[in-house]
Structure formats: structure tokens, C-alpha cells
Amino acid sequence: MGRRTLFVVMESALGVRDETMLTQKLLDFYGLPDVLTLREKWVKEEIEREKIKDFAIEVGSCAAAGDPVCIRLLEEFAHAWAGYAIAGMKRNGMLDKPAAVYTSGSIFKSATDVLLEALKRKLQAANPQVRVADSVYEPIVGGVILALEKALGGKVSDKILQNVYASARTNGLLRNEKSIERIGE
């Protein structure tokens, strides 16, 4: 999303897209005077390219403020990502069965529900039984749980999961305590 945001700002400066609040926010983020300088520094790799991922959450803030370019950007992103989930459900014979899709990533922490609602609409059009929820943990914790499952032969005890939860909470790796639920429970 961050990289796409950069290109949307450049497209806006060229007049391909409408003006957006993102332009000034992105210039401030990189400490640059104008989009031309941003474009030159991006092409010449004179600015930190990885840093752009930290900017993605601003799309949600601008969408919440009513920026139509940002609203459209979030809808495009939701449409694309829903396609991956739908393909996975189709491949696994789940389009006509209850399924859950858990969101993760900083963009889902934004100040608006535009992205989440667009994702739900697209997913539920393909499978009315799909449930979309915020993941409990940041992705790294999910990786730890998967590694534990593999190391322990598929079953992680409740005691270990409680320890993982406590550690995640202590280290700021909980996304949403309200979404503590598992598929099938």
C-alpha cells in the first residue's frame, strides 16, 4: 500500500488523479519540497524506499477526512486482496462453506473502516458465509505459533498459548483483544 500511495501522489501531481491530501503528507514525511523532487529522489534511490511502508496508514487518515482519492485507493486495495482470499477459498473448496479471513498489517489500523467494509463486501459476494475479523496478534506472533505447532506435532497446549498471549501483550504485539476467537469455535 505504501508504494502504491507514492505512485498515487505522483499521478495526482501529473493530473492523472484528482488532488489528494496525501501529497503534502508524503512530502512532509520525507522532508521534501515538492513532488518533482520526490520523484527524482525515488528514481535515483536517494530516499529510503523501505520507509514508505510506514506511511500507508496515512491513507486511512485521509480517507476518514473524506479524501476521495484515498477512499478509492483503499477500495482498490480491498478488491485486490479479496481476490487472493477468494482464490484460496476456491482452491480449497470453501466458497460454499463457513470460512474466516483475518486481517493484519498497519493499514487495517487506520482511522476508517473503508478498507475493511470494502473487503467484507467483496468476500461476502463470493461466499456469504465468510466472516472477516481483525487478527488477535501482529504477524510475527502468528509465525511463532505456526513454528510451535510444527515443532510440537500440530498441537500447542493451552498453557503455551497463554504464555504466547501474555508475552504478546507485554511486548505490544496484540492487535485487538476483542477478536480473540478461533476458526471453528
Cβ atoms of 29 and 8 closer than 8 Å: no
Q: What confidence tier does 70 reach under pLDDT thresholds 50, 70, 90? A: very high
Instruction: Read off the pLDDT of residues 93-147 as tens digits, 9 standing for 90 and up.
Output: 999 999 999 888 777 877 788 888 999 999 999 999 999 988 888 889 988 998 9
DSSP 17: S
Tell me the mean pLDDT in the region 82-99.
95
Cβ atoms of 144 and 167 closer than 8 Å: no
Cβ atoms of 126 and 88 closer than 8 Å: no
pLDDT at 182 exceeding the cut of 60: no
pLDDT at 181 exceeding the cut of 60: no
Backbone phi, psi, residue 34, to 5°: -160, 170
Tell me the mean pLDDT in the region 32-39.
96
DSSP 147: H
Cβ atoms of 81 and 134 closer than 8 Å: no
Tell me the mean pLDDT in the region 64-90.
94
Position 53 scores a pLDDT of 83
**Residue 51, all three cell numbers:** 520507509
Angle formed at CA 20 by CA 14 and CA 21, multiple of 5 degrees: 135
- Stretch (H or E) spanning 30: helix 22-30
Q: What confidence tier does 177 reach under pLDDT thresholds 50, 70, 90? A: low
**Residue 73, all three cell numbers:** 485507493
pLDDT at 157 exceeding the cut of 80: yes
Position 176 scores a pLDDT of 63
